[in-house]
A and B are shown apart, each in its own frame.
Chain A
Amino acid sequence: MLLQQLVNGLTLGAVYTLVALGFSLVMGVLGILNLAVAELFMLGGYVGLTLMLDGQPLLVGLGAAALFTGLLGVVVERVAYQPLRHAPPIAPLLSTLGFSVIFQTVATNVWGSDPLLLPPELMDARYQLGSVSVGQAQLVVMATAVGLVVGLALVMRHTRFGTGLRAIAENRDVARLLGVPAPLVTSGAFALSGAMAGVAGVLIGLHYGALTPFVGVEVGLKAIAVMVVGGTTSIWGVLLAGPLLGVLEVMTVAFGGAAFRDMTVYGLMILTLLLRPQGLLGRAGGAQRV
């Protein structure tokens, strides 16, 4: 039972991790919270699952979701961030909030507010590993998440885009003097952030077997808690906090009751802010930029 819950929690945590990385990509570089990420997560889910319900294979669904929300991420950057980049940080925060409300409204009108249910036979294979039963969908979720995280780490460390992005995050002015095209790299960060969230949206739909236009608020915003607990300046922190909060949530529901579910997650976020403001693995002294 405990082991089974652990697997379920890790699956949920994998999704949290991806969305949290989507938030922290933009947060790390620009110091702003792009709230639209939560709804790009939801939109990606709808785009990918709609295609899969149409009979397209998983990879097409994931790819289309990534492409769609990646492009929308750039739109968000051009409209909600670029014109406001010299304004106080609250301005882009509010304009991305505006975008997320619009995205949610559009999704409600296009797909309806009733849950989009996946047919039970979609990815219904189960594998028995000792006492633990793992669903095909859970395996897909975890494998995709691990693959994306590894891919992101490689991109950040070994490509010009990645090193440029890290340089901009540390010192934008110096990075530009070294020839890093800051505007292009910034757009790239928004695109990558949107694409990660979009793929995570497909995964959450597969995990729950359903999707609603409100999943961005329910699940996507929890990724902010993950980012805060892990530390906004640390990708490794997010990789630790994502699974941790996923497991914590599932355990809370299993042993404490569903009513406490969100309380533990957001409670841990508040505790982190109070007791360890730099996050679990954040650099000491580097206060979080929320």
Chain B
Amino acid sequence: MSLLSLSGVTCRFGGITALNNLSLDLPAGAITGVIGPNGAGKTTLFNCITGAYRPSEGEIRLRGESLLGMPPHRIARRGIARTFQNIRLFPSMTVWEHLMVVQRGGGLRAALAPLGLSGPAPRHRAEQALERFGLAPFRDRLATTLPYGVMRRVELARALTAEPALLLLDEPVAGMNHEEAAGVASLLQGLVADGLTLLLIEHDMGFVEQLCQRVHVLDFGTLIASGTPAEIRRNPAVIDAYLGVEA
């Protein structure tokens, strides 16, 4: 059963085709990887899914419901969250406030209710995220003053506070050492065990092999290969375009 399906998605900017007739399905409860050289359209793919860009052609469906033309905040409330390659936190907010920004329920009443009185759910979710990501000691610190690895965890915690069905991760271990990356890997595996579906952009092929059940390879906006990590390793087109010949 696929959670998200893209069919024939094309995204053009002026004369540039950033995504070309892309079709793929994300199976629920799995980790799917997207790899490809810089400028292959990986981040554009994320932007189309989250509603930041509107594809020129094609269809994107979440659980069968079309997301095209839906504003980003509504898509987010349908259950899609993402993190960024370059961390994007709010400079004037504490770690706790980052988690409280996340909004699920709607309506004017909910908007005006004091955070403490808007029901235990949001605070409870935020408390859980603090625990899970080891952020409790940093709760009232300004998020952008924290060490890099902690900021990454804040971003991840913020995305998960929305309790999404699908989480898009844009290079979650960029700039991390081996140990930190291994920590993130086991964290992500724990999330998937809890039923989350992940779509992961990553350059670290070892990380991709360790985590992903399925990998899609993009080159110049076109899907050139799909398969298990082992199949991708052997695929001549992929070796040509991206992985290079192994010494």
List A residues at the B interface (Cβ < 8 Å). Answer: 154, 158-161, 163-164, 166-167, 170-171, 173-185, 188
Contact = CB atoms under 8 A, between A and B. Distances in A.
Contact of B100 (A163, A173, A176, A181): A163
B103 A159 contact: no
Interface residues of B, number: 33
Contact of A179 (B91, B104, B113): B104
B92 A166 contact: yes
Contact of B162 (A159, A174, A179): A179
Interface centre among B72, B93, B100, B115 (most CB of A within 10 A): B72
Contacts of A174: 84, 88, 90
Contacts, number: 85
Given A163-B97, A167-B90, A183-B71, A178 B102 contact: yes
A159 B111 contact: yes
A176 B113 contact: no
Interface string B91-119: 11100010011111010001111111010
Interface stretch (B4-12, B74-82, B128-136, B211-219): B74-82
Contacts of B90: 166-167, 170-171, 174
9 contacts: A158-B116, A160-B110, A160-B118, A164-B101, A166-B92, A166-B93, A167-B90, A178-B102, A188-B111
Contacts of B20: none
Given A160-B103, A179-B76, 12 more contacts: A154-B114, A159-B111, A159-B112, A159-B113, A163-B101, A163-B115, A166-B92, A170-B92, A171-B90, A178-B162, A179-B104, A180-B73
A179 B90 CA distance: 15
Contacts of A163: 97, 100-101, 115
Chain B, interface SS category: mixed
Interface string B161-196: 010000000000000000000000000000000000
Contacts of A154: 114
B115 A178 contact: no
B224 interface: no
A195 to B, nearest CB: 13
A104 B49 CA distance: 47
B116 A178 contact: no
Contacts of B72: 173, 176-177
A169 to B, nearest CB: 9
Nearest to B77: A179
Contacts of B106: 181
Nearest to B78: A179
A218 B104 CA distance: 44
Nearest to B76: A179
B29 to A, nearest CB: 22
B115 A170 contact: no
Contacts of B102: 178-179
B32 interface: no
